[in-house]
Structure formats: C-alpha cells, structure tokens
Amino acid sequence: MLTKLADLDAEHARAVAGGGERYVERHHARGKLTPRERIELLLDEGSAFLELSPLAGWGSDFTVGASVVTGIGVVEGVECLVVAHDPTVKGGASNPWTLKKIFRANQVAEENGLPTISLVESGGADLPTQKEIFIPGGRLFRDLTRSSARKEPTIALVFGNSTAGGAYVPGMSDYTVMVREQAKVFLGGPPLVKMATGEEADDESLGGAEMHARTSGLADYLAEDERDAIRIGRRIVARLNWRKAVDRPAAVTYAEPDADPDGLLDLVPADLKEPFDPREVIARVVDGVSTGNGVAFDEFKPLYGTSLVTGWARIHGRPIGILANAQGVLFSEEAQKATQFVQLANQTDTPLLFLHNTTGYMVGQEYEQGGIIKHGAMMINAISNSTVPHLTVVMGASYGAGNYGMNGRAFDPRFLFTWPSAKSAVMGPAQLAGVMSIVARAAAEAKGRDFDEAGDAAMRQFVEASIEEQSLPFFLSGMVYDDGVIDPRDTRTVLGICLSVIENKPIVGTDRFGVFRM
C-alpha cells in the first residue's frame, strides 16, 4: 500500500503543478495568483478543502487535472462549491475533461444544495477539441441558471480573460466581481470584432472591468486587485443568510475511533481474491465507544447473509448506516438482507455508506434456481429508489453487478471515493479473458475449424493486460468515475466532510420502491 500511496502522491503533484514551473512563474510575474492560491485566500483560515476529481484527464493527452480545480470549502462558515480555472494550463482553456469535471462538480452542488463560487480566468474552449465540447458545453450555463432558480447563489470572481462562451459565466452568475485592469469579459475580442464588423476597438472598451462596472452593468463590484476581489467574494457569502436544512448543534461531541486508522494500510491484501474483514475498516472509520452512543458499530443481522456486513454507527457525531462486503460474493441472503437494511435507513432518514470489496453476485445452477437474479434485482431496486444520501468507498474489488448492487457510480451516490488498492471492471481480467477464450473455442468447433491455440494465448495475454490497466483507480479516476483516489487513513475525515455537506439539503427517506419480485 505504501508504494501505491507514493504513486498517488506523485500523480497529485502533477495535478497541483498545473502548467508547470515556467508558466506559474510567468503568471506570478504578471502579479497574478494561481488558482490554488486564490482558493486558499477565499476559504476560512484553517478550514479543509475537499478537492474533487483531481486526477481528471489522467492517461489522456491533456494535463492531469483538466485545467480546472474543483472542490468544496468553507467560506464565512458556508460550505460552497468552488470552481477555479487554471490559466497556467493553456490559458485555462476548457477541454473535454474540463467539462466532465465541472459537470460532476455542478452535480455535487445541485444534489447537496451548495452555493457556487467560480474563480474565472479562461480563454474559453480548447478549439482543436471543439467538436467534443461545443454541443455539451452549453450545459455549463444551464447549470448556473438552474442553481440560481433553486435559490443556491452563484458568484463569479473574474481575474482575467473570460471570452466568447466563457463570458456567460459572469453573465449568468447572481453576483459578479471583476478586477480592475485584469478582467476582460466579451463575446468577441478586438480581432473578431474587426473581422465581423470592421470596427476598431481595444479590449478595455470592449470588455474591461471598469466598462462593465460603469457602462454595461455586468459587473456588480469593481475590485482593485485579486485580494480585494476575494475579500468582496467572502463578504457576499457572509450576507447570503445561509442556513443548513438539517439543524444540528454547532458543537457535536464524539469519540475518536477505537482502532488506529494507520492500520487501514495493512488490511487490503495484494491479491483481491483474498477476503478481509470489513469490521476492521469500520472500527477505524466510525466514532468510538462513548457514553453517548454505547457501541461503536451496532451490527444488524450479524448471523444472516454473512458475506455482507450491515449496521449502524456515527461518523463525526452524525448517524450512518453501513453496508460492507465481507466475503466478496453476494448470495441471495445478502441481497435480501441489504434490501431490508436500505428500507430501514429510509424509514429513519439515515444516510448510507457502501464499502466495496465484491466480485459480484454468485453464479451457478444451484443459485440460479434459488433466485439469485430476482434477489439481486430486489437489492438494486431498493438502492436505486432509496432517497437518503448515499456515500461510497471502493476499498478493493468492485466487479460486475456487484458494483451496481453496492451503489456504484451509475447509481449516483452523493460522493464516491476509491482507495489506491481498488479495482473495478465488468469482471476480473483473467475471468474476462477466459470467457472470451471459451466463446472463441466454441465458435471454432461449431464451424468445424481448428482452434488457434497460440493466437488464443496471445489474445488472453493482451486482454488480461488491457483489463488490468483499465480497472486501476488512476485510470477510472481519470475518467471521472469517482470523486478522487484517497489515502485510506483520510477516509474518516473525507466522510465526515461529506456528511456535513449533505446536511445543506433535507435528508428524507422514502417508502416508495419499485415492485419487488418475490
């Protein structure tokens, strides 16, 4: 695990580096701050920043991080989504991964009812990739306007260029702050205006901050410099009269975990075929025993469906229901147990946490005849229709329909994080290659042809290597299939932040599920 964590640190360092030392120095020489420096000044001193999708674009031709920083931070005591373009990477131009990353961030803001603060300095679209970003890119503007309509304020702090379609970010935000002599907001710059109309105009008269503050009215506030813009932004948030939907006492006392979180580094075997006891994970993540809660983890149905551990706990004083894979495979008993547990969580308006280490649902004649399909469908039905917030952590394996049953990305958990030990695919590499080999062999026999053993061996080797690469956490995080790869020791802190964030919207369970096939 330590080797994997070193690799993770190296990849995060690439994202933090942005366009590299040369472009950062050039940016500083212009008297400007980097996006992360702007975020640091924006957030309350000493507060945490939960960065989202930091490895977006990993494995692609684009810079890791996708030229934008997104995450959740506390501003004047209010949890806000922050979207900060990185002008050190191609001037902050948006590429296909930038869109995916911002779309996911906007989804987080919508589901959790957060105000959005955009730190704007972007040259607009990465033109060579326009065919991939122009059509879907309009969703960025739709998201901003819908956020405003939901009474989730949007604030734009403009530090530099915001041109073409990007000009609509400050235009569609509820509050817009522009930095004098730095902010330039226009649909068409001087060259385009001259080409289209023949008019000669400089960028200040077309879209300068002072012009927008005095003439067009697009700027609500004119800042003297970047720090002033950030001060104004913080002042705006302070006056939002923001209240969380869940009324929880300001000071919630809780005990630290009963077991040392450092032990999480040794729990997941290198070979994911070897099961491990998720109770050891739970003991290092949830609040410890105290006079307030009696037991750290109140296990539900411990003697039934033992391949799935379910039970109740608290994290940072907040209640949570937990479903964790114990033996990898899910049988009918586990599916029925999970279904009941999800219904109970909805009855009591309790958020759910899913801890993945599953190879999927059991197959074979005995289990097919025993109803594994209908029982697995029952579990997926319950999870699909559950309305309490779901959090997901992929610790180890997450294969096949087990990924679905344990609330994988397709089921829209509020947040999904992975450990460096995680792997996820339709099935394990060896199994997938083996299935393809069996199918090919049967096809050859049906046609009366000789089977190419050497070709089959080469195919299996290629497929296994490909699926192994595609199932690794960096690859999946690069595809924005999670919200980040995290150090297992940070799991409790990350989940604690998430549980606080979800309280910005009401937590209300449902009693309405689809038809359960009995």
Three-state SS sequence of 268-312: CCCCCCCCCCHHHHHCCCCCCCCCCCCCCEEEECCCCCCCEEEEE
Tell me the one-letter amino acid at 429. Answer: P
Rounded to whole angstroms, how far apart are CA atoms 245 and 17? 37
Chain mean pLDDT for the chain: 94
**What is the phi/psi pair of residue 83, to 5°?**
-125, 115
pLDDT value, residue 128: 86
Transcribe 224-270 into DSSP letters: SSHHHHHHHHHHHHHTS----SS---S----PPPSS-GGGGGGTS-S
What would the mean pLDDT of 26-41 be, rounded to a whole number? 95
Confidence of residue 427 (pLDDT cuts 50, 70, 90): confident
Assess whether pLDDT exceeds 70 at residue 190: yes
pLDDT value, residue 143: 95
Assess whether pLDDT exceeds 90 at residue 252: no
pLDDT value, residue 9: 96
What would the mean pLDDT of 276-303 be, rounded to a whole number? 90
Domain range summary for the chain, segments of one domain joined by + = 2-23+46-238, 261-427+472-504, 429-470
Assess whether pLDDT exceeds 60 at residue 251: no
Question: Model-level pTM?
Answer: 0.94
pLDDT tens track for 440-452: 899 888 888 888 8
Distances (CA, A) of 93 to 36, 244, 251, 444: 17, 35, 43, 51
- Name the residue with tokens 């037991």: 295
pLDDT value, residue 293: 59
Confidence of residue 290 (pLDDT cuts 50, 70, 90): low
Q: Which tokens sit at 358? A: 């599953």
pLDDT value, residue 270: 87
pLDDT tens track for 240-249: 999 999 987 7
What would the mean pLDDT of 327-349 be, rounded to a whole number? 97
Task: Give 134 or 427, the one with higher predicted confidence.
Answer: 134
Q: Which tokens sit at 323? A: 């479903």
pLDDT value, residue 110: 98
Rounded to whole angstroms, how far apart are CA atoms 8 and 18? 16
Rounded to whole angstroms, how far apart are CA atoms 63 and 74? 27
Task: Give 188 or 277, the one with higher predicted confidence.
Answer: 277
Confidence of residue 250 (pLDDT cuts 50, 70, 90): low
What would the mean pLDDT of 264-287 be, rounded to a whole number? 94
Rounded to whole angstroms, how far apart are CA atoms 308 and 383? 15
Dihedral sign from CA coordinates of 468, 108, 246, 339: negative
pLDDT tens track for 364-396: 999 999 999 999 999 999 999 999 999 999 999
Dihedral sign from CA coordinates of 32, 38, 41, 46: negative
pLDDT tens track for 143-173: 999 999 999 999 999 999 998 778 899 999 9
* Nearest in space to 306 (alpha carbons), one of 325, 321, 284, 281: 325
Task: Give 125 or 280, the one with higher predicted confidence.
Answer: 280
* Residue 257 · residue 288 · CB < 8 Å: yes
Beta bridge partners of 60: none
Assess whether pLDDT exceeds 70 at residue 176: yes
Assess whether pLDDT exceeds 80 at residue 138: yes
| CATH architecture of structural domain 2-23+46-238 | Alpha-Beta Complex (3.90)
CATH, range 261-427+472-504:
3.90.226.10
* Nearest in space to 477 (alpha carbons), one of 426, 394, 418: 418
2-23+46-238 and 261-427+472-504 share one fold: yes
Q: Which tokens sit at 499? A: 């549980």
Rounded to whole angstroms, how far apart are CA atoms 250 and 239? 19
Rounded to whole angstroms, how far apart are CA atoms 183 and 58? 31
